[in-house]
Structure 1
Amino acid sequence: MEQTWQTGWTERISYGLSDAADNLIFQMMSSYLLFFYTDIFGLPASQTAILFLVARSADLVESIIVGLIIDRTRSRYGKSRPFFLWYALPYVIFAVLTFVTPPFSANGKLAWAYITYLGLGFFYTAVNLPITSILPTLSNNEQELTLLGVIRQFFGSSVQIVVAVFTIPLVAFFGHGNRQAGFLLTIIFSR
């Protein structure tokens, strides 16, 4: 029995762009957050390393929790789609807050970094996991699922290049010499 294609190019591109949007923040975190925390925000490298270790450990627990919540979700939109609605805005808010540099004491800055970065990590998981879990519901055609996965990977990887090439020039452009303001405005305008 021949399987038919069930998604059009608009839906395929939309699926790919969902990962691209998610990857804008993820790539900023992966590529520049260590530099931001140590050289701009003013955290010692040792405290930043511990924060990153704690965040990666939290990711293990968060992934399991979000996966269980997805499995138990029952809505008219399905299991995965509500997460895009529920968590996209908090994800953007925490992305911006992560690059805010409040005038706190050293301990206050460290607490701010923990709250915003761990929150951002949770909301990243709450948005990204459903992007993956929704794939099998889009089609029962294995070739189409492969195509959708390739399109998603293409858009997600393209964002890596965009972030790598344009972040520092955008920080300089928006900050006019003030890297704190530059990073904050870059993250705001990238969302």
Structure 2
Amino acid sequence: MCLLSKHNEENERVVTDKEILHNITLVMIAGHDTSSRLITFVLRLLYKNPAVYKAVLQDSKKQDFKRTLTWEDLARMKYTWRVAMETPRMVPPVFGGFRLALRDIDYAANMTHVDESIFLEPSKFDPARFEDQKSVPPYSFIPFGGGSRLCPGNEFVRIETLVAIHYLVIQYSWELCSYDHYIRDPLPIPT
């Protein structure tokens, strides 16, 4: 049975069923696991950084939480998004990519996230480093991929994360109930 059919100009099939299945699996996992882990680690870092938590709470209080959030509300939650961007810099959602390089290159995706020449004091949680996205060199911060390989769910993750964090900080408080460590299995999860 053929799942989908992708042919080149010579009418030769260029994508196999196995490749299609792998891509479907990747999209399903990436669309669920990475978002849930991002939100989990945002909560962890907010708890550990009370000043950042307070600023996110202020960001959320600017919105009318008695009604459904609008696109305009989400666009105003700039500080909360900077927190969400700083989180995968500190706890990258994936450890690498599944792409085939056409030629040998030296590149370690997550190593750039802790490179002091790119991010001053890389072990410090500092959402302010994302106030000006243009100050981050191209391809040095790629939790959502980059270029033509940018995650197609990038905007969905932004919306999902902003909405979730908004309602969590407005309606709940939390504390860490276990050791403050995580492992990779292969994505980061609390121990």
Give the TM-score of the pair, scaled to structure 1: 0.35
Q: Relative CO higher for 1 or 2, CA cutoff 8 Å, sep ≥ 6? A: 1
- Structure that is richer in helix per residue: 1
Give the TM-score of the pair, scaled to structure 2: 0.35
